[in-house]
Structure 1
């Protein structure tokens, strides 16, 4: 007798969804049949919380065709021939399954890479355009002239705290930018402009969010922490001074709420 996979009880299918680690497996689950798709759709908000955890990475691999990339699934050790198109774009970050791009006018764009597959229609909400960052200063140092010509280097790193579609209310876009590696953030569902950290906090090389707190490491190995409030951000506190020895390195972990040398 044939198995009725489409007729499995919802609680069993919910249990299967809870055990899907990779986002690609969740996508495969959702297209098996109509009943499975319905369960996947019902679990989208729960899935958004799971995306807050570390996900198995997928690597983008350039092809022989300019501006075209394939994805490498590390769990299956397979290259997916999807032919993603990002012509003349420089990535300044990737997070929660989205690619983050710095634009010519110093604006930030979020792209769902799977929506850029050759031969497929672009999905709704697959591109999110954010406002421009503050322009570089027009001073004798020539920062404005340099970054106007080389705008792709203005944003050094960028990250997201949540999926911008499935969990927009919890999503903050955080960027490290400019000549002095300052930091700015934007609350996706609330803000129309960027909020900038104090200019004295500069030389930032890494930032992570752990249990609703932000931790920042600068070039001198100092660690600062602050909270995002409803209006702006809390006072920035230095919680660890830098090391004298250049051979020491601070590692920041997203999965554990602690630091290690």
Structure 2
């Protein structure tokens, strides 16, 4: 495995998703990486480089982001196990400081596709069956299916609190939004104040 700086930015279907300082996105299966003393085939999958230009002042370029790759890829997820579904899985990433969305279909696409969602600062993305859901800082929840270019707004939460939001698909097949409220305790110290859990009512779209 590369000794370059690496940031783990997601886990899904038993796989970890990481980004290296050269912007290569890598899938790793920690449970199948070693078989005896040898690496198991397909336990590490390297994806094409994300070539979207970073949103950064002109005096800062690739070298800046190579040192700060923590901020280039915010979060990632995959739609299915790459080994069990080698020709039918998709990787989604939230990237750059303004947290935009992009995806790639392995064995089908050679480059990443940016998704226009009209959202600012996407907090999380999740793939459920044939649909993908994204939620932003303001609690706006959007949904769409392939080709991921026509999102429908399901909810405008508008709570406005300083919070992080996470999407979870429960064992009871419910879509949950977990809101983690934060409080600043002087300087750059941030602490978690509380969690609030919402469940999605698909009949009422709220």
Which of 241, 252, 257 is matched with 2:167 structurally? 252
1:179–1:252 distance in 2 versus 1, CA, 3 Å: closer
Partner of 2:155: 240
1:141–1:163 distance in 2 versus 1, CA, 3 Å: same
Query: What is the root-mean-square deviation of aligned Cα atoms in Å?
Result: 2.8
Partner of 2:204: none
Whether the aligned pair in 2 keeps the contact of 1:183 and 1:202 (CA below 8 Å) is no
- Bigger Rg over Cα: 1
- CA offset digits 1:170-221 (Å, max 9, x no partner): 3110111111011111111311111111174330001112231111110111
Give the TM-score, by structure 1 length.
Answer: 0.58
TM-superposed deviation, 1:135: 3.2
Which of 153, 167, 176 is matched with 2:94 structurally? 176
1:258–1:138 distance in 2 versus 1, CA, 3 Å: closer
Partner of 1:34: none
TM-superposed deviation, 1:144: 4.9
* Alignment gaps of 5+ in structure 2: 177-197, 200-206
Whether the aligned pair in 1 keeps the contact of 2:144 and 2:151 (CA below 8 Å) is yes
Whether the aligned pair in 2 keeps the contact of 1:160 and 1:174 (CA below 8 Å) is yes
Query: Counting helix residues as a fraction of each chain, which structure ranks higher?
Result: 1
Which of 44, 49, 56 is matched with 1:127 structurally? 44
Q: Distance in 2 between matches of 1:163 and 1:154?
A: 24
Q: Distance in 2 between matches of 1:222 and 1:250?
A: 10
Give the TM-score, by structure 2 length.
Answer: 0.72
* Alignment gaps of 5+ in structure 1: 1-84
Asked whether 1:136 is paired with 2:50, we answer no
1:250–1:114 distance in 2 versus 1, CA, 3 Å: closer
Partner of 1:150: 68
Q: Distance in 2 between matches of 1:112 and 1:241?
A: 36
Asked whether 1:187 is paired with 2:102, we answer no
Whether the aligned pair in 1 keeps the contact of 2:25 and 2:47 (CA below 8 Å) is yes
By relative contact order (CA 8 Å, sep 6+), the higher-ranking structure is 2
Which of 121, 131, 143 is matched with 1:225 structurally? 143
Partner of 1:94: 11
Whether the aligned pair in 2 keeps the contact of 1:138 and 1:144 (CA below 8 Å) is no
TM-superposed deviation, 1:120: 1.3
Asked whether 1:162 is paired with 2:77, we answer no
1:89–1:155 distance in 2 versus 1, CA, 3 Å: same
